[in-house]
Amino acid sequence: MKKVVSILVIVLAFTFNSNAQDKMMDKAVVKTIALEQTPGEFTEKGLTVSPGTYVFEISNNHAAEKVGLVLVKKGDDASKPENHIKTAYVTTAVTDGKTEKSNPTTLEAGEYVYFCPLNPTPQYTLTVQ
């Protein structure tokens, strides 16, 4: 009986250890896309990245009192909020001189557009290939 209990304890320990390593590896694959806004524009006029999970880091360099980020699959109507990729929204509006982040957002191959309606900017292309 002691052997059975010992084996169960060892198996459980390996299971918990494996799960912890898997979670750490998942966090390691999240990359950051840093975007800076100045009055009326993003300084990054277009981006190309590989498929994966990204956090958007938005900096407000005296662009407006508050700025944000809208990401939409290219070809979808960007004026309709239901087409926005909501995980790409910053978690808090970015005030002047600050930087805020979005939640992790998984991007698949294709084209997207990003813009800010608070600091009216053009729509820029984000290509995932």
H-helix or E-strand containing 46? strand 46-49
Amino acid 63 reads: A
Q: Tokens for 83? A: 């087409």
pLDDT, one tens digit per residue, over 39-94 is: 999 999 999 999 999 999 999 999 999 999 999 999 999 999 999 999 999 999 99
C-alpha dist (Å) from residue 123 to 31, 105, 112, 116:
22, 19, 9, 8
Q: Are the C-beta atoms of residues 102 and 69 closer than 8 Å to each other?
A: yes
Helix ranges, the chain (H): 2-28
pLDDT, one tens digit per residue, over 8-54 is: 445 445 445 545 545 554 556 999 999 999 999 999 999 999 999 99
42 CB neighbour count, 10 Å cutoff: 24
